[in-house]
Amino acid sequence: MERKIIKEYCTSCENESTFHIVEKEQIIVVRKEPIKVNVCYLSCDKCNDEVISTKHCPDPLILAYDKYREKHRMLKPDEIKKCRESLGLTQIELAKLLGLGLSTISRYENGALQDSSHDSLIRLSLEPNNIIKLLEQSNGVLSESHKEKMLKGLADIQKESYSLEKVIEIIFSRENPDVENGFAKVNLTKLFNAMLFLSKDGVWKTKLNKLLFYIDFKHFKDYGVPITGLKYVHLPYGPCPNKYELLLASLYANENIYSDEIDFSNGNMGDLIKPLKEPDLNVYSTSELQILAYVKQYFKEFSAGAITEYSHKENGYLETNQGDFISYEYAKSLHL
């Protein structure tokens, strides 16, 4: 990097001094994942103390977020803004259409790292077919003239796009029954109604993922078949449904759930999911209903952190590595 001299007041040696910029590779942990970035520091020529200055150098956290988004193929803040503006929607209008908190879109456009399921929701729901469906289902979010204008503009390209439901159907239809999904095809009807049932009183997204794992593995343990036929992946916070971002995105887009992003005092955030409709329990057998009720009651008082810790003790988690599918063979040693 070309040496650049900057005159500033040094708070370390308490003198007017000249600084030069030095660059160092640093690891910043983003959602438990180490991200390497080149961080610029200002080095005082008098005391050699080094400080980060976002006035003269890029913010390291923004650099780390950008690399994380690039690695996971997530939308960048300017891409979210461009998509929203191309539809002629305000931040509040888009948030309402997607069932998100009113400040959520604003935060994402201003650099906050989006939730992965929100990223899938925004990306897929802004496809013409999906935004048309959201507009048709919306009530009071847009003026009727604004809605009609948008629908008219989208109608011409509607046939060229896949709906969100079609995307999910295609993805899961490609999975053949094997030990990783309990020798069953994914039953999206049972899956989505289970998510509504388990989130009835409000549930943290992390906890919901574990509850789905336990209803499937418990039913497989007792009856030899899972309830939903989902595959589960070993992730840092415990077993998680494969492609769970798409599953949540579908529920958001169809106005079956909404979520509140909660900021905690320690700087972390949580996604609290609540249903917007009652589950249809007629789709389940007697044994499935019993397992659904049993698992929900068993973990009723567990926080997201507690059920995560509990799931980390399962053999299916202990004996697999991050990113591995957790075979239903491990159901026989389930702690429930």
SS3 175: coil
Could you report the per-residue pLDDT of 235-281, keeping only the tens digit for each? Answer: 999 999 998 888 888 888 777 888 877 766 666 677 899 999 999 99
Tell me if 80 sits within 8 A of 108, measured CB to CB. Answer: yes
Question: With the C-alpha atoms ordered 294, 298, 304, 305, is the resulting torsion angle positive or negative?
Answer: negative
Tell me if 73 sits within 8 A of 83, measured CB to CB. Answer: no
Between 56-65, 121-130, 206-215, the lowest mean confidence (pLDDT) is in: 121-130
Res 157 pLDDT > 70: no
Instruction: Please report which confidence band the pLDDT of residue 160 belongs to, taking 50, 70 and 90 as the band edges.
Output: very low
Closest CA to 240 of 248, 125, 250, 269: 248
DSSP secondary structure letter of residue 75: P
Could you report the per-residue pLDDT of 41-55, keeping only the tens digit for each? Answer: 888 888 888 877 767
**Burial class of residue 67 (count of CB atoms within 10 Å of its CB; 0-12, 13-18, 19+):** middle
Instruction: Please report which confidence band the pLDDT of residue 202 belongs to, taking 50, 70 and 90 as the band edges.
Output: very high
Res 162 pLDDT > 60: no
Instruction: Please report which confidence band the pLDDT of residue 3 belongs to, taking 50, 70 and 90 as the band edges.
Output: low
Q: In 89-204, which residue ranges form alpha helices assigned H by DSSP?
A: 91-98, 104-109, 116-125, 128-137, 144-155, 164-173, 188-198
SS3 151: helix
One-letter identity of residue 323? G
**Percentage of residues of the chain with pLDDT beyond 70:** 91
Task: Report pLDDT for 87.
Answer: 78
Instruction: Please report which confidence band the pLDDT of residue 14 belongs to, taking 50, 70 and 90 as the band edges.
Output: confident
- What contacts 24+ positions apart, CB below 8 Å, involve 60-66? 60/26, 60/28, 61/28, 62/111, 63/28, 63/37, 63/38, 63/39, 64/28, 64/30, 64/35, 64/37, 65/30, 65/111, 65/113
Radius of gyration of the chain (CA): 24
**Burial class of residue 219 (count of CB atoms within 10 Å of its CB; 0-12, 13-18, 19+):** buried
Tell me if 207 sits within 8 A of 299, measured CB to CB. Answer: yes
* Average pLDDT value for residue range 210-226: 97
Could you report the per-residue pLDDT of 87-104, keeping only the tens digit for each? Answer: 778 898 888 888 888 789
Bridge partners of 297, per DSSP, are none
Tell me if 119 sits within 8 A of 75, measured CB to CB. Answer: yes
Vertex 139 angle, CA 101 and 165, to 5°: 75
Could you give the CA distance from residue 331 to residue 183 in angstroms, rounded to a whole number?
A: 13
Task: Report pLDDT for 129.
Answer: 72
Res 159 pLDDT > 60: no
One-letter identity of residue 274? K
Task: Report pLDDT for 164.
Answer: 60
Q: Which domains does the chain have, with CATH numbers?
A: 5-71 (3.10.20), 77-166 (1.10.260), 174-333 (no CATH)
Question: With the C-alpha atoms ordered 321, 322, 327, 333, is the resulting torsion angle positive or negative?
Answer: positive
> Which is more confident, 129 or 228?
228
Res 28 pLDDT > 80: yes
Task: Report pLDDT for 213.
Answer: 98
Closest CA to 127 of 76, 173, 174, 86: 86
**Residue at token pair 């549930």:** 203
One-letter identity of residue 6? I
Could you give the CA distance from residue 146 to residue 123 in angstroms, rounded to a whole number?
A: 22
Question: With the C-alpha atoms ordered 75, 81, 84, 87, is the resulting torsion angle positive or negative?
Answer: negative
* Average pLDDT value for residue range 181-208: 93
Could you give the CA distance from residue 48 to residue 205 in angstroms, rounded to a whole number?
A: 46
Question: With the C-alpha atoms ordered 162, 168, 172, 173, is the resulting torsion angle positive or negative?
Answer: negative
Closest CA to 285 of 212, 198, 199, 193: 193
Task: Report pLDDT for 297.
Answer: 97
Res 156 pLDDT > 60: no
Instruction: Please report which confidence band the pLDDT of residue 1 belongs to, taking 50, 70 and 90 as the band edges.
Output: very low
* Average pLDDT value for residue range 1-23: 75
Tell me if 182 sits within 8 A of 328, measured CB to CB. Answer: yes
Could you report the per-residue pLDDT of 118-155, keeping only the tens digit for each? Answer: 888 888 776 777 777 788 877 778 888 878 777 776 76
